[in-house]
């Protein structure tokens, strides 16, 4: 796997390195030792999928409050998304910075979102499916979010938001 650090401290774009032959290819998408060597949280406590009917579906920006903070490893297994990590760690040198990448079923890239960062995505194709691996189990009482279009963050989404649930649309502004 190739680990490329993004402009959000601790967030990485991870690309598999396929080994091809006449059958197709084989590629590793997770390795505890490689995650540790790159300073990433290697624990996997939960795995989920998200299926989205329509292009323009926005999910996010979600995170879990400490002590239930979670790292996420996100991969698009069908279709395409614009995936975003947003740094919400007040002591971080990249506080309030964001990074976005196009993850597709064709490029097989993944985004590692560290603890203390919010995560969200916009679907770029109909019938898109996203796989998540989290370092901590879901804790409903610790679930939090910030608004996807909050001017304090200035996230530049690459398309129109057509579908969004009421909770994600109504998070308050973070302020200046």
Residues labelled as active-site residues:
62, 132
Q: How far apart, in whole angstroms, are the C-alpha atoms of residue 43 and residue 30?
A: 11
- 124 Cβ contact partners less than 8 Å away, ≥ 6 residues apart: 55, 79, 80, 81, 82, 102, 104, 158, 159
Q: How far apart, in whole angstroms, are the C-alpha atoms of residue 46 and residue 138?
A: 8
66: phi then psi, degrees, rounded to nearest 5: -60, 145
Chain position carrying tokens 């057509």: 162
Coil, strand or helix at 26: strand
Side-chain half-sphere exposure of 91, counting CA atoms within 13 A:
2
Q: How far apart, in whole angstroms, are the C-alpha atoms of residue 141 and residue 85?
A: 22
Determine the longest span between alpha carbons in the chain, in angstroms. Answer: 56
What residues form DSSP beta bridges with 46? 134
């Amino acid at each position: 796997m190739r680990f490329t650090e993004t402009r959000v401290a601790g967030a990485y774009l991870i690309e598999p390195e396929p080994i091809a032959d006449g059958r197709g290819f084989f590629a590793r998408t997770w390795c505890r030792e490689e995650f540790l060597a790159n300073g990433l949280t290697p624990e996997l406590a939960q795995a989920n999928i998200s299926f989205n009917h329509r292009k323009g579906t926005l999910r996010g920006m979600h995170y879990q409050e400490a002590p239930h903070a979670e790292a996420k490893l996100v991969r698009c297994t069908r279709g395409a998304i614009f995936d975003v990590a947003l740094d919400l760690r007040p002591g971080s040198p990249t506080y309030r910075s964001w990074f976005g990448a196009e993850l597709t079923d064709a490029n097989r890239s993944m985004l590692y979102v560290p603890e203390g960062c919010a995560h969200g995505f916009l679907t770029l194709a109909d019938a898109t499916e996203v796989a998540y691996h989290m370092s901590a189990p879901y804790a409903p009482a610790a679930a939090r979010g910030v608004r996807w279009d909050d001017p304090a963050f200035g996230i530049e989404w690459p398309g129109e938001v057509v579908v969004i649930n009421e909770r994600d649309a109504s998070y308050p502004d973070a302020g200046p």
